[in-house]
Amino acid sequence: MTADVPLEGQFGMAIVASGKALRRSLSRRAAAFGLQDGEWGIIVHLQRLGEGVNQKQLARRIGNDAASVVRILGNMEQAGLVIRQPDPTDGRGRLVSLSPQGRELAAVLLADFDRWEADVFRDVPADLMRPMLACLNRLRDQLDLAEI
């Protein structure tokens, strides 16, 4: 029956549905480490971006509004997972880094996420994964630039 339905409109909805399912699954895994939804994404991004990331840039990178990210970072700072310092180049800005405790958690969390990803995609051949990842990255970049 789905073969009769035109492809237009299905691709975007399939990506959204898959993204939501992936996020739910990762959130459940992160909860086992004591992380709330939103916190694990910040940890992953800070681990990949390195030290001293501007809060506004972090919010943009995550795709979340700045106010939500500031609130989540406040909770994470109280838990000892991140350190925030004034941004010397922006009087109102703050730079965020993982604390030593946050870096330890990030290493364990990312190793767990790597195992999860290998399990989730075990039946998808690598020759299909590469173009799919390239397509998703291109789509994300195009949407970020166009703000459609």
Q: How far apart are CA 103 and CA 27, in angstroms?
A: 19
Report, as an integer, the average pLDDT of 28-35: 95
Most confident of 34-38, 47-51, 59-63, 68-72: 68-72
How many CA atoms within 13 Å lie on the side-chain side of 28?
Answer: 6
pTM: 0.81
Give me the pLDDT at residue 9, please.
66
Domains and CATH numbers, the chain: 2-146 (1.10.10.10)
User: How would residue 6 be classed by pLDDT, with cut points 50, 70 and 90?
Assistant: low
pLDDT in tens, 95-125: 999 999 999 999 999 999 999 999 999 999 9
Q: Is the four-CA dihedral 134, 19, 144, 46 of positive or negative sign?
A: negative
Arithmetic mean of pLDDT, 19-47: 94
